[in-house]
Homo-oligomer: A and B are copies of this chain.
C-alpha cells in the first residue's frame, strides 16, 4: 500500500482523510470548515464540470450568475425554506473596517452597519425567484432554464474535506415553467442526467428515487435523489433534483399570463450537485495504494516513466516514446511523459499509483531492444508487456476497458451489499454485520421512519423509482407498505 496510508480495513475514515491529503486533492484552510482545493483535485473537479456543463447545455439550459448575498428578509419569504436554511449561515453585518484606535491592525467600523443583514447564499432559490419576477410576464417568457456554477456557504459544525464543508462549490439549476407537468418532467430529466453522469463518467452506480417528506429539500414538494454506496457500506447522497411546485412563485409573487390571458403562478424546479461528488468518487473506487480514477475524469490518463541510468539511455527511450505521446494526444488522451531526473522510477510509480493515474507505462533499455513497453493498470494492479507497434491503439481500448471495469466492480460490490430483509430483527442484524443498502417494507409514516433512525441510525435513502414494486407489510409495525424502500447508514 501507499507509504503511510492507513488501510481501509483498519480505519476507513482515517484512510479517506489521509488519501485526500496525500493525493494532493484538498486540505483544510486557516478558515474553519473551508477547504483549499489543490490543483490536482481541482483538475478532477474541472473534468466533472465540463462533462456536466455539456449535459446541461444539451438539455437546453443556459448558464447565468446571481448575487452571492441574499437579503435576510428574503429567506423568510418561503416558510419551509427559512426553517431549513436560515439557521447555520454566514451573516454579513458591516461593510467597512477601520484602523484600530489602539494601533493594532483593523477593527469593524461600527458606523458601517448594514440596514439589513446579508446572508452568504446557502442556496439561491430566493434571490433567483426575486429576479425571475422581473423576467416573467407571459407564457412567451417561459420556460426559463438557468444554471449557475457557484460557491455556497452552510455553517456546518462538523466538517470533512469534500463531504461536508462550510464553503463548497456546486452548480444549481433553477427552472421556471408554465405547467406543473413540465416542471415535474424537468425535475425527472435532471435526476436522470445526474444518474447518467455518476454511472458513465464517475463509474459509480446509483439508485434513483425520491425522498420521504422528512428528508425533502426545504421548500420542495418532491425531492429526487441519486444514492451511491461507498466501500464502507454507507450511502452517499450524490445529487438531488427538486420539484418546488408554486412555492417560490407564491413567495415572490411570480405570475404569468397564459395564452388566454389568465394569470397563474409559475412552476419551478431546482437541482444541484457539488464538490461532494469528489468524496463519492474517491470513496467508491480507491484502495490501500491510493486513488483509483475512472479514465473519463482522470487529469492524467497515461503516465510514461522512462527507466534510465544515463543521458544516452534517456535519449534512446525518448526517441521511441515521443512519437507515441504524439499519437496518444491525437486520440485526445492526456499523457504525461515524466522524464524528470530528480526522482527515481520507483518513486514515480508510487506517486502515479497514489494519484490514481489509470495507466502507467514503463520503458527501459531492454524494452527498446525488444520494441515493447510494460503497461500497468491502476484498477487491477496488473502488468503486461505490450508491443510498441500498436501501443496507442492498445491504450485507447484499455482506457475504455478500465472505465467499464471500475463501474462493474462498484456495481458488483453494491449488488453483494444490497439485502432484502423481512423483519426488523433481520434489518438490525444485517445493518450491524453487513451494512450496505437494505430494502425493506415501511408503512410510510414519519413516526416509524424516526423510530428506525433512533434505534439504528439508518435512514430511508429513497423510495426507489425502479425495481420491485410488490406491496408488503412494514417490518416494524406490520402495517401495509406500497413497496420496499432503501435504507442505509449515510454520510
Contact = CB atoms under 8 A, between A and B. Distances in A.
A43 B68 contact: no
A95 B91 contact: yes
Contacts of A89: 95-97
A131 interface: yes
A348 interface: no
B105 A82 contact: yes
B93 A91 contact: yes
A350 to B, nearest CB: 17
Given A31-B127, A68-B151, A92 B92 contact: yes
A90 B95 contact: yes
A42 B69 contact: no
Closest CB pairs A-B (n = 3) = A76-B105, A34-B67, A39-B62
Contact of A71 (B31, B72, B117): B31
Given A39-B146, A75-B97, 14 more contacts: A31-B118, A35-B67, A39-B63, A46-B63, A68-B153, A72-B97, A75-B106, A76-B105, A76-B106, A87-B96, A89-B96, A90-B118, A91-B97, A96-B155
Given A42-B62, A106-B82, A67 B36 contact: yes
A64 interface: yes
A82 B99 CA distance: 9
Contact of A31 (B38, B67, B96, B106): B67
A87 B97 contact: yes
Interface of A: 27, 29-31, 34-39, 42-43, 45-46, 62-76, 82, 86-98, 105-106, 108, 117-120, 127, 130-131, 134, 140, 146, 150-151, 153, 155, 167, 169, 342
B42 A64 contact: yes
Contacts of A87: 96-98
B120 A92 contact: yes
Nearest to A144: B39
Nearest to A126: B30
Contact of A43 (B29, B62, B67, B97): B62
Given A62-B43, A82-B105, A342-B140, A94 B91 contact: yes
A131 B36 contact: yes
A75 B97 CA distance: 10
A146 B404 CA distance: 33
21 contacts: A27-B134, A29-B67, A30-B71, A31-B67, A37-B65, A38-B64, A42-B62, A42-B64, A42-B65, A43-B62, A45-B65, A75-B97, A86-B106, A87-B96, A87-B98, A88-B95, A89-B96, A91-B92, A92-B92, A93-B93, A120-B120
